[in-house]
Structure 1
Amino acid sequence: MTIEQSAAGRALLGWSQRDLAEKAHLGESTVRNFEKRRGAQTYNNVLAMRVAMEAAGVVFLDADETMGPGARLRLSENR
């Protein structure tokens, strides 16, 4: 998950950095530092953020030959 995908995923969910931190069981400063490119982040912390957003419905898209990485919401099963 890239920094931009993290911010996009939060925006899609309407989550603040604090919301993501709570859902991922991390400190808010961990999310803030990741998205501001401050310091090195551990694999486990980034994975926890990604898993929390995926559980809430975010799908992370890999880059390909024509487009960069992205994020979108999974369709609800109730639609």
Structure 2
Amino acid sequence: MITASQCRAARALTDVSRAILADQSGVSEDVIREFENKLSKPDDATINALQAALESLGALFIAENGGGIGVRLKFTRSEARRIAQMENEGGPTAFDEVP
């Protein structure tokens, strides 16, 4: 389940307003605002609806893994292919140190 900070960050990363998130999730803007500002904590079903909507908009939530919780953008399939191509383009590797 996501936190208020992850919700705010995911909205910023996906570049969506509270109104768009409300429309996508079926959760009212007021509930989103109060959750993000830590004024109230909605029930689990509401938070799960927000998380599902944000994930469908491109957010990927990172669970506690020793380095803290977080959120990042998902790569599209074409972006992942381009990254793989760039990673495989180089020649032989050598030491980076310059004498």
- Using the size of structure 1 for normalisation, the TM-score is 0.90
The runs of 5 or more residues in structure 2 that have no matched partner are 80-99
Q: Which has the larger radius of gyration?
A: 2
Percentage identity across paired residues of the two chains: 28
Paired position in structure 2 for 1:75: 75
Paired position in structure 1 for 2:9: 8
| Aligned residue runs from structure 1 range 1-79, under 5 A | 1-65=2-66, 67-79=67-79
Q: Which has the higher contact order (CA 8 A, sep 6+)?
A: 1
**Count of residues in correspondence between the two structures:** 78
Q: Aligned partners of 2:41 and 2:72: how far apart in 1?
A: 26
Moved over 4 A (4+): none
* SS of structure 2 residue aligned to 1:78: helix
Q: Aligned partners of 2:63 and 2:18: how far apart in 1?
A: 23
What is the RMSD of the two structures over their aligned residues, measured on CA atoms? 1.1
One-letter code of the match for 1:26? V
Q: Aligned partners of 1:69 and 1:17: how far apart in 2?
A: 22
